[in-house]
Amino acid sequence: MRRWKGIILSALAAVLLGSTVQLQALAVPGTGQNFIMNTQTVPTEGDTSETKETGDTSGTTGTVTTPQTTGVAQVTTGGNTVSYETITEAWRAATNSKTATIKLLKNVSTGTEGQEGTCSLSGGNITLDMNGYQWTYVNGEGASGSKDMIEVSGSKASLTVKGGEMRYEDGGNGYAGACLYATNGAKLTIESGNFASNVGPVVYTEDAKVTIKGGKYANTASTGSRTVGAVSVHGGTLNVSGGEMGSGGLALDNQGDDLEVSIKGGTFAKITSTAGSDSPEKALKIGELLADGYAFKRTGGSTQAKSRSTSAGTNDKWVTSSADLKATSISNVTAAESPVGGGTEFTFTADTEDRIFSWGTNKTITFTAKISIVQPDINEGDIMFTWTDGSGSTKPMNPTKTSGNEYICTFPFATLQKDVGTHTIRVVAKIEKLGFSWDDSIDIRIDPVSGTIDIKDLQTKYTYGEKGDDKISIYGLKETNGGQYFQTDWDGTPPSPTDIKWSYNWGTDQSDAPKNAGTYPLLVTARSSSGNHVATGGPFMVTINPRKVTPHISNNTIVKTYDGTTKTPEGVVIALDGLLETDSGVTASAASITYDNENAGEHKRVTATDIVLVNAKGNYVLAETTVSEYNGQIVPAKLIMDISHNPDTQKINRPVTITIRLFYSADDTPMTGNWIKPEDITLIVSDKGGAEKPKRVTLKGASGEYGVFTGTYTTDIPGDKDISATLGTSSNYTLSSTANDNSLTIIEKGDSAMKLTTDRTMLTYGEEATYTAEISSVDPDDKDSMAGTVQFYQGFVTDENRVGEPQNIPAAGGKASITLDKSRLTAGEQWIYAVYSGNQNFGEARGEVASTVAKKQLTWNSSDLTAYKTAGTVGEAGVYGSLTVDGIIDEGVTLTVSNTMITSGFADTIIAGNYTVQAIPRVGIWNFTPQYLPNYDLPQGNPDVAAKVTSVTELVNPPKDKDGLEYKMVMEEGLSSVPGELKGTSFGTPEEIRQELIRILTKKNGYTENNTEVYDVVLQVSENEGETWYEADANSYPTKNLTVTIPYPAGTKSDGFDFIAAHMFASTDFNKVPGMIEQPKVKKTSKGLVIKVTGLSPVGIAWKTSTNNASSNSSSSSNSSSRSSSNSSSSRNTSGTSQSGSTPGGQSGTAQAGGTGGTPLISSIGALTWDDNPILLYACLAAGTGLVLIITGSILIVKRRKR
């Protein structure tokens, strides 16, 4: 209500003053709509000024609507124009209106990098005027799937686009989309603009009605099918009368056989027409795309379809070649009106459907070229037909005009005596004065006379290597002698035998005859030298069989050393009898060559089985695959035995591994077979001191090694041991030497070692330290298990001093750690111990380490301390507030400071300002409770305190002299001390007084703590004409109600500001309660702010920017806390104080005590407003009804569309 009253009064003022007022848009409660009121003066006679909407050139004067031009777009519908902050909001508003124009006001970005994505239209007629601006869509990484900038769908939807630029950019997510997408019968019209995309077509339609009148289109995608088409049309209709389709060109898809295209203009980098892989024949031909009377013209570059026109590939030449017009793609063309006009048709036919003839056929074919043209100024002499028949010669001919406007020219072609091959009959019809021509051709093919070939006298079976290569080499004979091997049979007249050229092919496109064994298909061709006769025969199968060879063992004697197997040594050779000398690379190998048994002996039989040929290439076969010879010998083996054990020293009841190795004595090479068994060897271990009986150790063969045997020896008797071994006898081997090993020693448990360390040898109470025990064997070669536990202790190694639980140590040794905090690490030296338990393999180990823990230093926290004194005052000041300490980290531990404090170093500071000094105990030293903390050092030195020296000003207009007493008023800017009897109350510090006055002042609307000042105003009295002064008390006051003139606070003055005041009573004088607050009325004068108070003590002033400069009183005195109170709302007091309310003690007065809680009970009466006095408002409105009627025509209310 209050806002509407302001609007009406502003309108009244506008009429009375003859001014123009622009009012901001107002939200109408409960409607969600905005209204705009534009009030403009109707020009008077002689006034030539005018106000127009942007772009308005009508020159209309008077009151008009000024459209909002903020935001990114405006929507015009039904004569109403509204601006919107986002294109999404503008689009939504336009589509809701069904018929609207969207006009861009600035560049806009949508997609995942800007506002929300696709703008959709399913019904209505929308015009998008980009107004020279750019709309960019970024399909960024956060997008899911392909998105289009604008989607138009359905037969009821129509979109027209013009001006400006649309750009679709890839943001890195791999998806594609279009600037404009139309489907399901929607209508899309593009009048102008630039459209670009780097991910695919800028315009993509499916079964839509598309009209393109202008604009530029570019698809700069770089991969795959996305590069096809700047404009991509699938079904529906397409009408093009202008525009430039650059990179990507125009892509058409007639897969549904329902695409209709009419091109009357435009420039195309490329046109591609398809119809899907299932029905490619449905693709529209280039010539079918043009409207009647229009043709394509070359603009540069090369055509996509192969052209045989004399003008093909040349700039600014008409595309008339039949090959081009029947193709499904073309490049770099412009559509324009044909110089021959509409209704013109060119045809080229033959009088037979046959296109293939045999050589010698006597047939004359008549070709007819016909032009139907409607231009009246064309006659026979203007048209020239030029014929060619493939022979290189041309024949120009003039046509014959028939009935109407038809011009015919015929050309005969005789097949008789034409050579074999393709003869292209081509005609070019040209109208020179129009610069236009047509081009078409028909191919006639002449095939040779055919014949067949059969074998006459050719051998077809051979053996590899038989009688040399020329036996079957047809090429070794003269070509004219081919007739000796083959005979021919021709369909027609045969050629002369001497005119025939013979050629041969062996099935692998080779003319040379084969040599290797196998079966080969022979193809034979006989061809006349002119090529007009061709006879073929075959394939005739020619076979070359393999040659037989016989294998045998060629070695004299085959010798090896006994190894327990029948396998022969390397180097046995299988020779072949019957092998050609030229095939020395052919060899034989056997799967097995063995002795008849494994035992040593001479003249042993050696047999080779499963013999195969190597590198025979199929040209040889074996007569047999197994052969034997008695030329083998196996000699007895001579061996050496070696004994070793591990480890050299072992603990009792721990295993010792003993290894026996046998070698051939000839070269110390390992054995090559397992013919020595574990039971053939006797292994004995005996004690050198006789403490243990000799013990035989059982052996077993080592896996994967011949002649290697291992056994395990264990004993509980320590001492030095002897190890010996013997080998049984055999006719197949002899033992030349035996090595005994007597270095084995058996001992008790091994020694363990511990290394105990800490990461903090010096730390402060409250910090943690980690202790690590590392367990290892004293002997690094002792790999026995060290599995055991480590226990930590503090102070002593006793059960009562355990720290934590035992920690496991792995078999290989390792570390155990424990981290201790302040619960263990108190101030002082702390000794930590660790004990390793040991096991059956290792003994116990211990370690110790010490950490020194320093006490934690505590610090002062003086943030709550303050100190004040008056400028010019020499001496220290009292310190107020709570002094605490920081740094205690233990729960339940507290430290308090009980001293009263004064400043130190503040005595000589007399200039007003803020200072940092130190606080010290008023008496004695700092008193702490408790006085000692075991883990902490008490704060050092004295704390800092924020101190303030306040300035003092003598005020004007003091009370008049009375009864021989002279008076003056002194004002301190701030509070340096607690005045009067406020000490001991909840306002016992200057800061507590200040905060309470600020709290009271800022309860009123518009007043803030930043715009407040607190003063200590004191009335001083002199009994000796001003020689000495002292503070007045109740007995020396001239009157209890004093008038005080306070200077304006810095940055304020009488005009432009409102002021309020608050006064806290500091004594019981005049029956007041210390801590009570009164709020006197403030009067603005040229000398300052005038208030009336009872007694003198702390005064607070607050101010704000004035809303009514004519008023001199900015605040009224009150004691009621609510305007709803019947006492305060109905009473207004002009004496400066209000007399309502009572104190907690039952006293009546001008303020109420704050009590011990520090919250005085106060109240105020607000300024008189129309909300509180509606009758006064309506009376004023009734009086001004006539004026309202006068200005009604000048007030325009514009309803803004709900967003």
1041 touches 1136 (CB < 8 A): yes
- Weakest-pLDDT range from 122-126, 455-459, 851-855: 455-459
- Please count the structural domains in the chain: 8
* pLDDT of the residue at 315: 52
Mean pLDDT of the chain: 80
Residue 406, pLDDT > 90, answer: no
CATH number of 842's domain:
2.60.40.10
Query: Given the structure tokens 């930043």, which residue do they identify?
Result: 1010
Q: What is the mean pLDDT of residues 818-844?
A: 93
369 touches 409 (CB < 8 A): yes
* pLDDT of the residue at 228: 78
Residue 1131 lies in a domain: no
A 10 A CB-CB count for 678 gives 15
Residue 1047 lies in a domain: yes
Q: In this predicted model, what pLDDT tens digit does every residue of 682-721 receive, in sequence order?
A: 999 999 888 889 999 999 998 888 889 999 999 988 899 9
Residues 6+ apart with CB under 8 A from 240: 212, 250, 261, 262, 263, 264, 265, 266, 335
Residue 974, pLDDT > 60, answer: yes
Choose among 708, 564, 715: nearest CA to 641: 708
CATH number of 526's domain:
2.60.40
Residue 1101, pLDDT > 90, answer: yes
725 touches 683 (CB < 8 A): yes
Q: In this predicted model, what pLDDT tens digit does every residue of 1055-1087 receive, in sequence order?
A: 999 999 999 999 888 888 999 999 999 999 999
Choose among 559, 573, 554, 636: nearest CA to 603: 559
Q: What is the mean pLDDT of residues 833-855?
A: 92
- Of 21-25, 719-723, 1129-1133, the range with the highest mean pLDDT is 719-723
Domain end (from 635, 651, 671): 635
Strand-pair partners of 110: 115, 137
Residue 1177 lies in a domain: no
* pLDDT of the residue at 139: 77
* Same-domain check for residues 1065 and 970: yes
* pLDDT of the residue at 434: 82
**E strand or H helix that includes residue 198:** none
* Same-domain check for residues 140 and 280: yes
Q: In this predicted model, what pLDDT tens digit does every residue of 934-946 receive, in sequence order?
A: 999 999 999 999 9
pLDDT range class, residue 140, cuts 50, 70, 90: low
Residue 814, pLDDT > 80, answer: yes
1117 touches 1080 (CB < 8 A): yes
Distance CA 1064, CA 1075 (A): 6
pTM summary value: 0.43
Residue 115, pLDDT > 60, answer: no
Pairwise pLDDT comparison (968 vs 222), residue with the higher score: 968
- Joined tokens for residue 1082: 């403030």
Q: In this predicted model, what pLDDT tens digit does every residue of 640-679 receive, in sequence order?
A: 889 999 988 888 888 999 999 988 886 778 887 788 889 9
* Same-domain check for residues 280 and 207: yes
What Å distances lie between residue 789 and 375, 604, 651, 688, CA to CA? 115, 69, 21, 38
At residue 1189's C-alpha, the angle toward residues 1186 and 1191, to 5°, is 115
> Which residues span the domain enclosing 520?
451-466+476-544
Residue 51, pLDDT > 80, answer: no
* pLDDT of the residue at 224: 66
Residue 711 lies in a domain: yes
Sign of torsion over alpha carbons 300, 301, 307, 311: positive
* Same-domain check for residues 832 and 929: no
Residue 973, pLDDT > 60, answer: yes
Residue 39, pLDDT > 60, answer: no
Domain end (from 950, 967, 999): 950
pLDDT range class, residue 467, cuts 50, 70, 90: low
* Same-domain check for residues 137 and 281: yes
Q: What is the mean pLDDT of residues 752-774?
A: 95
Pairwise pLDDT comparison (471 vs 1054), residue with the higher score: 1054
Strands 1113-1115 and 356-358: unpaired
Q: In this predicted model, what pLDDT tens digit does every residue of 347-385 receive, in sequence order?
A: 989 999 888 988 888 889 999 989 888 776 787 788 888
* pLDDT of the residue at 824: 95
Strand-pair partners of 700: 710
Q: What is the mean pLDDT of residues 303-328?
A: 63
Query: In the Cβ-directed half-sphere of 884, how many Cα atoms lie within 13 Å?
Result: 7
* Same-domain check for residues 1035 and 1096: yes
CATH number of 559's domain:
3.10.430
Q: What is the mean pLDDT of residues 94-109?
A: 92
Residue 314, pLDDT > 60, answer: no
* pLDDT of the residue at 1035: 86
* pLDDT of the residue at 1148: 32
Q: What is the mean pLDDT of residues 1082-1100?
A: 92
18 touches 1193 (CB < 8 A): no
Residue 873 lies in a domain: yes
311 touches 298 (CB < 8 A): yes
Amino acid letter, 955: L
Q: In this predicted model, what pLDDT tens digit does every residue of 194-232 receive, in sequence order?
A: 999 988 899 999 999 999 999 999 998 877 666 778 999
* pLDDT of the residue at 1108: 63
* Same-domain check for residues 826 and 883: no
* pLDDT of the residue at 759: 96
Q: What is the percent of the chain where pLDDT is above 90?
A: 42
Q: What is the mean pLDDT of residues 53-78?
A: 55
Q: What is the mean pLDDT of residues 769-774?
A: 96
Residues 6+ apart with CB under 8 A from 1085: 1045, 1054
Distance CA 769, CA 759 (A): 6
* Same-domain check for residues 443 and 490: no
- Of 664-673, 1022-1031, 1176-1185, the range with the highest mean pLDDT is 1022-1031
Q: In this predicted model, what pLDDT tens digit does every residue of 588-623 receive, in sequence order?
A: 999 999 999 989 898 999 999 999 999 999 999 999
* Same-domain check for residues 1009 and 1095: yes
pLDDT range class, residue 540, cuts 50, 70, 90: confident
- In degrees and rounded to multiples of 5, residue 523 shows phi and psi of -110, 130
* pLDDT of the residue at 508: 65
Q: What is the DSSP string of 946-994?
A: EEEEEPEEEPSSPPPPBTTBEEEEEEEEB-SS--GGGTTSTT-SHHHHH
Q: What is the CA radius of gyration of the chain?
A: 60
Distance CA 171, CA 143 (A): 9
Residue 891, pLDDT > 60, answer: yes
Q: In this predicted model, what pLDDT tens digit does every residue of 545-563 receive, in sequence order?
A: 999 999 999 888 999 888 8
Distance CA 83, CA 76 (A): 9
- Joined tokens for residue 58: 């009508």
* Same-domain check for residues 940 and 982: no
Distance CA 867, CA 944 (A): 11
Pairwise pLDDT comparison (991 vs 183), residue with the higher score: 183
* pLDDT of the residue at 798: 94
Residue 1011, pLDDT > 80, answer: yes
* pLDDT of the residue at 1048: 95
* pLDDT of the residue at 638: 87
Query: In the Cβ-directed half-sphere of 753, how many Cα atoms lie within 13 Å?
Result: 7
Domain end (from 635, 651, 669): 635
- Weakest-pLDDT range from 371-375, 789-793, 1049-1053: 371-375
Residue 1119, pLDDT > 60, answer: no
* Same-domain check for residues 538 and 571: no
Q: In this predicted model, what pLDDT tens digit does every residue of 503-520 receive, in sequence order?
A: 888 776 666 677 888 888
Residue 1112 lies in a domain: no
Distance CA 718, CA 691 (A): 9
* Same-domain check for residues 134 and 228: yes
* pLDDT of the residue at 794: 96
Q: What burial class does residue 400 get, using C-beta atoms within 10 Å of its C-beta: 0-12 exposed, 13-18 middle, 19+ buried?
A: exposed
How does DSSP classify residue 647?
-
* pLDDT of the residue at 800: 95
Q: What is the mean pLDDT of residues 963-974?
A: 90
Q: What is the percent of the chain where pLDDT is above 70?
A: 81
Residue 65 lies in a domain: no
Residue 1201 lies in a domain: no
Q: What is the mean pLDDT of residues 1094-1115?
A: 74
